[in-house]
Amino acid sequence: MSDQTDTNGDVTNVTEPPDQAGGRVRPAPGPGSVPLRDPANRVSRKAITLWLMEGAVWTVLLVAGSVLLAGWIGDARWTWLPGWIVDEIGLLPWAVGIVLAALTVTESLWRYAVHRWELTGDVVYARSGWLSRDWVFVPVSRIQTVDKAQGWFERLLGLATVEIRTASHAGSSTIKGLDYGVAAGLAEALARRAEELRDDAT
């Protein structure tokens, strides 16, 4: 596991590889350490559908590409390929489709299990990822702008992404897969709390 903190103190990114038991890694607390407990809030269950839809688009594109490739190889009858590959090249699109479909379902469910977020009085932090896990801790006092964003699929599903930006690029963070109302409330709370902390500091 690696920790990275930028020189402005804007954010701490922690990448946590999945452990073999499938559980969470909880390092022993030490001076100045941040406990990697689960953030309190899950993203919306509709995020699973969002990721399935996004994965389906890529699956269709890659299957279409494999159909073109299979037709090209079949027509060209490349002599440097083993004969059994050329003879069975028509199975390539099926194999690509099955593998990508299984991967899309697995990834969507896994990402929903991993993605979480929480806003405390002074810090917003989130966990995301798939094969690896990223923990992002952003002090609210460092936040400069908070935006909501919606892609096409997010609009269809009533979801939104909260984009958090600080003075440094490393401090920027996003929380995806939120219900639109939750995203709007979180963005408003972050903006209000950041303003309060800046006023207190002056």
**Cα–Cα distance for residue pair 76/82, rounded to 1 Å:** 13
Highest mean pLDDT among 41-55, 85-99, 126-140, 165-179: 41-55
Comparing 11 with 48, the larger pLDDT belongs to 48
pLDDT at 137: 87
- The model's pTM: 0.75
Categorize the per-residue pLDDT at 67 as very low, low, confident or very high, splitting at 50, 70 and 90: very high
Instruction: Find the largest Cα–Cα distance for the chain.
Output: 76
CB 63 within 8 A of CB 138: no
Q: Determine how many CB atoms are found less than 10 A away from the CB of residue 39.
A: 18
Q: How many residues does the chain have?
A: 202
